[in-house]
Structure formats: structure tokens, C-alpha cells
Structure 1
Amino acid sequence: MDAAASALIDAALAEDIGPGDVTSEYFVPEDRQVRALLVAREEGCLAGVEVAAEVFRRVDPAIDVQVLLTDGSRVSAGAHVLIADGPARGILTAERTALNFLQRLSGVATATRRYVDAVAETSARILDTRKTTPGWRLLEKAAVLAGGGTNHRMGLYDRAMVKDNHLVAEHDPASLQDAIRRLKETHPEVEVELEADELEQVEAFLALEGVDHILLDNMSLEELRKAVALRGDHPRPLLEASGGVTLETVQGIAETGVDFVSVGAITHSVMALDLALDFVELEVS
């Protein structure tokens, strides 16, 4: 279990349980054993299954968890995701936290899969963004991968992304070229991406050395096609379309020939996947 995910599990359980689960303690017999089936209530794509399983184990090591479906699995209503056998108290205490992780992350994977399916007939790939839940970035970006998407940068440290607000302070081509050169000398592994709002900027950025990506922000389909034509047959820089992308518009954007389409909605505006825990009481021998 990744250290960041492990810390999130601990924090979530502490938040929910506090000094103790008074409902289970007073209303559920200590020796009651149950089987709980984690079931999908709707069609979707799973992510966070191992995180949910770890929640049960961490609440009570006596809970035996069998993972039936892994991250990236497509499910329909009625599909069994995992089985938890053991003390009823522990399973009930873990239930909501486990579901919170799994429903949220599966919502991200499901949304991503819909966008990936929409551009399946093109060569474009779906990118996520940094518009993630604070503290959940690694988990949500893993969910994007489970849904068939591609991760953009993880943070401010692994790609230089020069956007319009940065260009307000420094937009002279010679100064930009000097900044790119200095960055590449110090951090040769870090890629450089420049944001363009107009085709004139695309032309200017194509003339610079060391540019790995150009972000085509809020451009029309015609402008996107022209930007692709400006690059010609050169493999770099890669072109990323962004801005107001929806399921209704993503295919048309991808068909312009861009390499990537970034979609903030797959992490910041998703619906949790409907999942539930169904209990089966076991006989005590």
C-alpha cells in the first residue's frame, strides 16, 4: 500500500470512527460473524478496490477479504466486487469508509472510460489535470489510468507548464528561449509545455527549441486543425487540446489530429459509482 494512500486510509478511519463506533458496540453482538458482498448497483469501471479491501483489514485483521474484480474492470449492475468475511462489528465499522474510497475512485475511472471510448477511433489520448481533490491526487490519477486515460503532470515539479498568467510576466520569445535553455540544463528530465491561445503563438512556439508540448487552449475545431497543420509531420512538440471539453465535443476535438485532449471534469466533476455492501448472516458454530 502506497504511503500516501495508507495515510489517507488512517485519516479517513480516524475521522469516521473517532473514539469508537457506538452503534456497532452497543447494538451488534461481539461474536456475530457475517459475510458482506460488495456489489455494483450500476454499470461502470472500477478503481480503488485494493484501497477498499485495506480499509476492512485495517479496521479488524480478523476480516478476511477476497478481491473478485480488480481496478480497470468494467462492471454491470449486480456484479460482485469483493467479499468480506468476519466479525460483523468490524465490517460495519469499515463499511462507509471503504465505500467512500471505492465509489469516488470508481466514479473517476468510469468518467474517464466514457471519454476514452468516445475517442477510440482516433489516435488522441485522454489526459487528466491537476484539478484533483486535495490529498487524493495519486489515488485519483491511478483511477484515471484504470479508466484507460493518461496522466498529465503530477504536480508543479515534474513538468514546466508555462500558461497565460506566466506569460504576462515574461512573453518575449528570446526570454522564453533562454528560460527553456536554463531549465533543460538544470533539469534535463523535465519537459516543457507552453500554452497558446492563438495560432500566432503556436507559430512562435514552434520556432523555439526544447518545447515538448503546446497546449491549445479553448481553440475552435478549425483553429485546432490549423495548429496541427502548422506542426506538419514533425513528431514534436506534442499538441494538447484543452478547455470546456465535454462528452459531446471530445470526439470532434480528437478528430482534428491533436495528440491529447485534457479533461478536468474526469476528476473534479464526477458522480460516485453506485456500489453497496449486502450482508449475509452466518451461523455461529
Structure 2
Amino acid sequence: MPARAAALAGSLPEAAVLAVLRAALQEDAPYGDVTSQTLIPAQARATAVLNARVPGVLSGGEVFAAAMRLTDPGAVVELLVRDGEPFAAGTALARVTGNARAVLLAERVALNLVQRMSAIATKTAEFVALVAGTGARITDTRKTTPGLRVLERYAVRCGGGANHRFSLSDAVLAKDNHLAVLTGGDPAKLTAVLRGAKAQLGHTTHFEVEVDTMEQIEPVLAAGVDTIMLDNFSLPELAAGVGLVGGRARVEASGNVNLDTVADIAATGVDVISIGALTHSVAALDLGLDIELDVAPAVESGAGPAAG
């Protein structure tokens, strides 16, 4: 098993996956799938193959499998490619055999999620490859789809990236709006107010502060923060900021990060590059589910949807 796939094994919480799937299926088929109930015999079985129409990095194989088993507990799902593994166009990624109605019921939900997760993993892998050898870590942000954060953050890890704080409850990240409220716009107050805030925290709580000017760096560092985020700095400013910090805190770069700029940003010596675009603006990867009926018995009496 490749190292990335091995590291990911078991790292997606089953309860969280099932909660997402149940909500999605309730949204998609609140009273059942009237089309399949009308057209497909109740006992018909089908085999479906998840095929890649473009190259990418897989994420969401277990989500796909869980969706199929949720609609048919007896479904047999074979994952042919592991999460975190790259694949070529035309690759068969998974195969499922089960009740035909159940497969069709789960199809759209399963595809929507694995397509989005694989798109995130694929995009993340592109960024990670561009900063290889620099020591910079690619991370996501909280710019995730509401309700899907646990899946999208996992997809980032499938692509070789790392996760920023999962929620507002996990760490302190003081941004420009927080600082404006705290200091009233007076930069002379910055060190004192940050020290006061830090004194309220437990020793294990991470404290990060965002700055948007070089002049803020020293006052912020004087407060003893763990990470300083250089937001929308130019490349020369990033390099100068890293030199000014001088190892006294972890340095994160944010803003204006894309595939054309990320390598140059990493070359400035920053420790972390956070990229909202990993999750907020990817286009679903083109994957398809090709279904064949295995058994198609005659339509039984009452095989259509229940009255009412």
C-alpha cells in the first residue's frame, strides 16, 4: 500500500460519513425513487463500475461504498483504487453489485461526493507537487461547503496537503477585524492586548495572528504568538517577513495563492501556505457510474410505487 494511502486508512469517521449520506439521501429521495420503483423490478440486481473519465487522485472511495451499503446492506463493493492514489483516465475505481433499485437510489449522492472529494484531492496534489523540496506545507482553510467539512478536509489529506484548524473552537486566529476591535486602530496597543488574550488560554491552545503590514510583525511577535500569518504580502515582503520573524514563530502565507504563484511563495521560506481555493472553487472531477442489469425478472404485481 502506498504511504499516503496507508496513512489515510481509517481516518475518515464513519459516523460523520453516515450523517452526511443520510441527510443527502433524505434530500434526494424523501419518499423513495419513484422512477426506479416504477421501471425496475423489485428483485433485479445490477453491477455498476465507477470509471474515471479524466486523470486524478482518488478521495471518497469509502464514502462511495458506504452510500451503496446504506441503500442495500447486502451490496458487495470492491474498491479497486485506494484513496490518495493517482489514477489515469479510463481506470475502473470501484465496482458494486447489489439490488438494482438500491444502486440507482445511491448513485447520484455517491457520485456527487466522490467527484467533489476527488477534485479536491487532485487540486491539492497539484499544489503539493509544486512546493516539493521547499519545506512549505500546503493547508486548507475554513472555506468549505457547509455540512461537508469533514469530507473535504479528508480530501485535502488525500492530496498530500494538511489541515488548518477544523473549526472556530480549535485554536485562536486573530484577524484584522479582531485586532481592529481590540486596539481601536492604535498599533501601540497591539502587543499588550495580544499578551492579555494569550494569558487567558490554556498552554496547549495554538495562538495565531494575521498581519497585513510589515510594521505589525514585531509587536505581534513580542506577544509570544505561535504562528504569524502574512496576509496578501508581495514576494519581497514575504521574504523580508520570514527574515524578520527569524524562527521566533511559524510563518504562514495567505492570499493571492494559485498554481502560478505557489512555488515562488514557498521559495520565500514560509512554513505554511493556506489556500481557500482547495475547497471553495474546485470543479467536480469527471467520474461516471456505468450500470448493467444482471437479472431482470418480469415486473411483479405491486412492483410500482406504493399508493399514496
Q: Percent identity?
A: 48
User: What is the deviation of 1:22?
Assistant: 1.1
Partner of 1:194: 209
Contact 2:194–2:220 (Cα < 8 Å) also in 1: no
Say whether 1:207 aligns with 2:222: yes
Partner Cα separation in structure 2 for residue 49 and residue 86 of structure 1: 17
- Structure 1 counterpart SS, 2:208: strand
User: Shift in Å at residue 30 of structure 1?
Assistant: 2.1
The answer to whether residue 34 in structure 2 is matched with residue 22 in structure 1 is yes
1:145-188 Cα distance to aligned partner (Å, 9 max, x none): 011001000011111001100000113121211211222xxx22
Read off the aligned partner of 1:214 and give its amino acid letter: I
Matched, 1:38 2:56: no
In 2, Cα distance between equivalents of 1:280 and 1:136? 31
Partner of 1:147: 159
Counterpart of 1:72 (choices 59, 84, 87) is: 84
TM-score w.r.t. length of structure 1: 0.94
- Equivalent-residue separation in structure 2 for 1:196 and 1:16 (angstroms): 44
Q: Which residue is 2:149 aligned to?
A: 137
Query: Aligned to 1:252, what secondary structure does the other structure show?
Result: helix
Deviations 1:245-285 (A, max 9, x none): 11111111010000011100000000111111112332579
Superposition misfits of 4+ residues, deviation over 6 angstroms: none
For the residue of structure 1 that corresponds to 2:258, the secondary structure is coil
User: Which residue, 87, 102, 105 being the options, matches 2:99?
Assistant: 87
The match for 1:182 is 200
Residue 271 of structure 2 aligns with an amino acid whose one-letter code is D
Residue matched to 1:52: 64
Distance 1:11 1:278 in 2: 25
SS in structure 1 at match of 2:257 = coil
Q: SS where residue 9 of structure 1 aligns?
A: helix
Aligned length: 279
| 1:224 pairs with 2:238 | yes
Alpha carbons 2:143, 2:280 under 8 Å: kept: yes
Q: What is the rounded CA distance, in whole Å, between the counterparts of 1:191 and 1:157 in structure 2?
A: 11
Opposite residue 140 of structure 2, the aligned amino acid is D
Aligned-pair Cα RMSD in Å: 1.4
Q: Show structure 1 runs of 5+ residues with no match.
A: none
How many angstroms apart in 2 are the aligned matches of 1:16 and 1:125? 38
What amino acid sits opposite 1:206 in the alignment?
A: L
The answer for the alignment partner of 1:250 in structure 2 is: 262
Q: Give the equivalent residue in structure 2 for 1:61.
A: 73
Quick one: which amino acid aligns to residue 215 of structure 2? Answer: E
1:3 CA drift (Å): 2.1
Q: TM-score, normalised by structure 2?
A: 0.87
What amino acid is aligned across from residue 198 of structure 2 in structure 1?
I
